[in-house]
Each structure stands twice: as C-alpha cells, then as structure tokens.
Amino acid sequence: MNRSLLAYQGSSVLSDLGNSLTAVVLPLLVLQTTGSVLSAGWLALATGLPQFLAAVSGGVALDRLNRRTVAIAGDLASAASIAGLALVHATQGLNLHWFIIFGCLSAVGDMPAMTARAAMAPSLAEATRMPIERIIAIRSGLSSAAIMAGPMLGAALIGWGAQNVALWITATTSTLAACAGFALPASVGMVSDADHPAEAVRRSWRPLREFAAGVRHLAVDLPLVRLVTLVGVVLACAIGIVQGLALPYLLLLTGHPGRTGITLACLALGVAVGAGCYAGAHRRLRPRAFAAIGGAAAAAGLWLLATLPVFGLLLAAMAVIGAGMGLLSSVDATVSVTSPDPELRGRVLGNQNALTLGLAPFATLGAALGIEQLGLGNMLAALAAIVTAAIAFMAASRSWRLAPSVAESEDTPGGQDIVSATGAK
C-alpha cells in the first residue's frame, strides 16, 4: 500500500475512531448527568439542524474547494469542540446546555470531513490504480475496527469514572486524523476546476443554484443512487437509534452499562465481516444480491433485538445487524461515489448526508418518546417492521435494471467505466 493509500485510510480510521468515541461517550454522559432518556433525544434533535446545514453547505463547498483541505479543517474543528467540552467538564461541570453547544460545534466539523473523504475515493482509485470497490471495502473494514475499539474504550472509561480522559482521547484522535490528512497529496482532493484556477475564479459562485443542481442530479438523473440513499437513510436512523439510545438504555436498565462497549464491538465486528465479504466477492455477485442479503440480515437482527434477548443473544443480534450493514453500506458507498457527475459528486454526497442528518434527530426523539409510551421492546419491534418494509421495497425496485453499470455489471474492472451509464454526464 503506497503512501497516499496509507494516509487516506489512516485519516479515515482515526476520524471514525473519534466519531465512534463521541457516539458512545456523549449519550452515556448525558444519561449519567440527567438520568433521562429524553435528554439524549433532545440532544440528538438539537444537534440535527447544524449537522444538516453543515452537510448541505459542505457538499456545495466540496465541488469548489480542495476536498483534502475540507477534511483536515473539519477534523480540527471537531477536535477543538470536544476539547472545549473537556475543559468545561474539568472546570465547572457539564449540563445538557453544554452538551448541546459543543455537540453542535462538533457536528459542524464532522459532516464536511466525512463527505470530503468519501468524495476523494474515486480520485485516489485513479491515482493508485486500485479498484474503488477495494478501497471502499478496506475503509469499511478499518472503520469497523475503529468503531469496535471506540465504544469499548469509551464505555470502559466512563465506567471507571474517567469521563474527562475519554473526552481528551476523543479530541486527540480527531487531531491525529487531520495530521494524517496532511500526508495526502493535494491533487487527490482537487475538483475538476482545480487544474484551471483561472476558469474557477471567473465562474461566479452561486451556492443556492449549485445546491439545487446537486438536488436535481440526485433526484432526477440517478435513480439507483436515489434508491440506495432512501434505504440508507432508514437504516442509518435505525442503527443510530439502536447505538445511541436503545442499547445504552437497555443495558442501563439491566444494571450493566459497562457492557455497552463490548455490545457495540460486536456490531462493529459484524460490519467488518460484511465489508470483508464484499471486498473479496464483489465480482462474483451482483450488487443487488449483496444489498438484498445485507438488508435481510440487518432486519433479522433487529427483530431478534426487539425480543430484548439475554446477553448472549443480544451480542449475536448486534453481530448480525452489523454484518448486514457492512454489506449494504459497501454497495451504497460504491454506487454513491461512482455514479454522480464528478463535478457534482460533493453535492450529491452532501445531500445524502443531509437527508440522514435531517431525519435522524427526529427519529431518535420519536424513538425516545416511543420508549416512554410503549416500552423498549415495542419500539424496537416497530423499528424492525419499518426496516423490513424498506428492504422489501429496495429488493423489488426497478431502479437496479434502469441503471445497469455498477449495479448490474459483472465485467467492470475496478469501477473505472461506471460513471456515464447511470445518467451522469
């Protein structure tokens, strides 16, 4: 693996480690501080708007600015906000208002950085002559390792009473992710106009019009990307509810909050297995088959989780959910980064993140209210039913046939000639 690939994967895994720490540390701290599951729901809702705005504006910026620069800046912003939370915790103590303030600031950095790294994948594949499916699958596998380590470390530190140490470690990982980003060549992050800066300067920047162009490209020109985006939003909301709310609450109720880390580690291990299967066999099965298998596994795991099983079966449910997500997210990522027009790729990816971020906070708050009114098991059963319906809709959709290229081709080597066939220019 050459230097660029090492820097890219290193930056991704460090950033994902920081994000996974944040995902488990903040909800646990909120639950410990307030003792209310609704407070965790309100935190998710309050941070949703800045996340949404950052995803939308970041997508537009990524088609104008160097994507490497955006990723580095986003990681540094995220590190600074978590460090600020640690300072407040050490000096005067935390309450829900501080969690909301610094959670919003962290989200503003996280989303553009995440989108920027995804948008750089095709350029990296071209520069290194490695199939993009393999780059994405390696990234998914390494991210799964980070997601496995993060919750275990974060939950252990919170259980030991080392809340501030957990926050400082989270800030450090984001800082190291930015440092790894500096090792990437600037050319990997360039957009098409970067080779002709005079042209880019002459062309006026109209953010609203450019945002609308990205929305139109996703909604009209890319039926398959639109399909996997909608299903991905449903699954992302479901996993967010499980990871950030239902699972910590269940383990807190049973008196075993320290088991949160190992339980989420099983989820991440499953994702790594699913991504590894896709990396090794992406030429043998059509992506539609991978997506259907992955979706069915994720739905089955959620149905098992809804029974509120004993701890051993809980671990198995999380591993099955993770394996399904690993397969499905690898297909989603491959389709999403290779299908759009390269000049609109940042906006399309930004719009996908914006959809998830716009709906996820309301889904989390709705799930918190559902737990309060219906009970945890009934809420999880309803969630499993929604995911099952989404997977069935995806499997039956004609979009796989309408957009052949990456979705149905068995001959495309390394994803090199898959852009034009999905409606992108």
In this predicted structure, which of 118-132, 205-219, 376-390 has the lowest mean pLDDT? 205-219
Say if residue 103's pLDDT is above 90.
no
Give the confidence band of 387 by pLDDT, cuts at 50, 70, 90: very high
Give the pLDDT confidence score for residue 406 in this predicted structure.
45
Say if residue 415's pLDDT is above 60.
no
- Ranges 24-28, 95-99, 213-217, 322-326, most confident: 322-326
* CA pair distance 143, 20, nearest whole angstrom: 9
Angle (nearest 5°) at CA 157 between 241 and 256: 55
**Closest to 346 measured CA to CA, from 183, 207, 138:** 207
Angle (nearest 5°) at CA 115 between 137 and 174: 85
* CA pair distance 24, 38, nearest whole angstrom: 16
Percent residues over pLDDT 90 in the chain:
18
Give the pLDDT confidence score for residue 410 in this predicted structure.
38
Give the pLDDT confidence score for residue 340 in this predicted structure.
62
Give the pLDDT confidence score for residue 168 in this predicted structure.
93
Q: What does the pLDDT look like over 244-266, one tens digit per residue?
A: 788 888 887 787 777 877 887 78
Angle (nearest 5°) at CA 163 between 160 and 167: 135
Give the pLDDT confidence score for residue 56 in this predicted structure.
66
91, with CB counted inside 10 A (0-12, 13-18, 19+), is exposed
Q: Report the pLDDT averaged over residues 107-113.
A: 80
Task: Report the chain's mean pLDDT, rounded to a whole number.
Answer: 78
Q: Report the pLDDT averaged over residues 32-60.
A: 70
Say if residue 132's pLDDT is above 50.
yes
Give the pLDDT confidence score for residue 200 in this predicted structure.
43
**Closest to 386 measured CA to CA, from 250, 241, 247:** 241
The fold of 3-409+416-422 is Growth Hormone; Chain: A; (1.20.1250)
Give the pLDDT confidence score for residue 405 in this predicted structure.
44
Is residue 410 classed as helix, strand or coil in its secondary structure?
coil
Say if residue 128's pLDDT is above 70.
yes
**Closest to 188 measured CA to CA, from 116, 239, 257:** 116
Give the pLDDT confidence score for residue 269 in this predicted structure.
84
Give the pLDDT confidence score for residue 265 in this predicted structure.
78
* CA pair distance 230, 289, nearest whole angstrom: 18
Q: Report the pLDDT averaged over residues 265-274.
A: 84
* CA pair distance 336, 118, nearest whole angstrom: 9
Give the pLDDT confidence score for residue 64 in this predicted structure.
76
Please give the helix or strand (H or E) that residue 353 lies within, else none. Answer: helix 345-374
Give the pLDDT confidence score for residue 203 in this predicted structure.
46
* Distance of alpha carbon 225 from the chain centroid: 16
Q: Report the pLDDT averaged over residues 354-370.
A: 79
**Closest to 64 measured CA to CA, from 160, 238, 203, 164:** 203
**Closest to 5 measured CA to CA, from 168, 146, 137:** 137
Give the pLDDT confidence score for residue 199 in this predicted structure.
41
Give the confidence band of 389 by pLDDT, cuts at 50, 70, 90: very high
Q: Report the pLDDT averaged over residues 309-335.
A: 89
Of residues 140 and 169, the one with the higher pLDDT is 169
Say if residue 392's pLDDT is above 70.
yes
Q: What does the pLDDT look like over 304-321, one tens digit per residue?
A: 999 999 899 999 999 999
Is residue 425 classed as helix, strand or coil in its secondary structure?
coil
Say if residue 194's pLDDT is above 50.
no
Instruction: List, in order, residues 6 or more apart from 283 with CB less than 8 Å away.
Output: 410
Cβ 37 vs Cβ 245: under 8 Å: yes
Instruction: List, in order, residues 6 or more apart from 113 with CB less than 8 Å away.
Output: 15, 70, 71, 72, 73, 74, 75, 78, 177
* CA pair distance 413, 425, nearest whole angstrom: 20
Say if residue 328's pLDDT is above 50.
yes
Give the pLDDT confidence score for residue 277 in this predicted structure.
85
The pTM of the full predicted model, rounded to 2 decimals, is 0.65
Q: What does the pLDDT look like over 277-296, one tens digit per residue?
A: 887 776 777 778 888 899 99
Say if residue 411's pLDDT is above 80.
no
Q: Report the pLDDT averaged over residues 11-22.
A: 86
* CA pair distance 188, 6, nearest whole angstrom: 13
Amino acid symbol at 2: N
Give the pLDDT confidence score for residue 26 in this predicted structure.
80
- Ranges 27-36, 151-160, 225-234, 274-283, most confident: 225-234
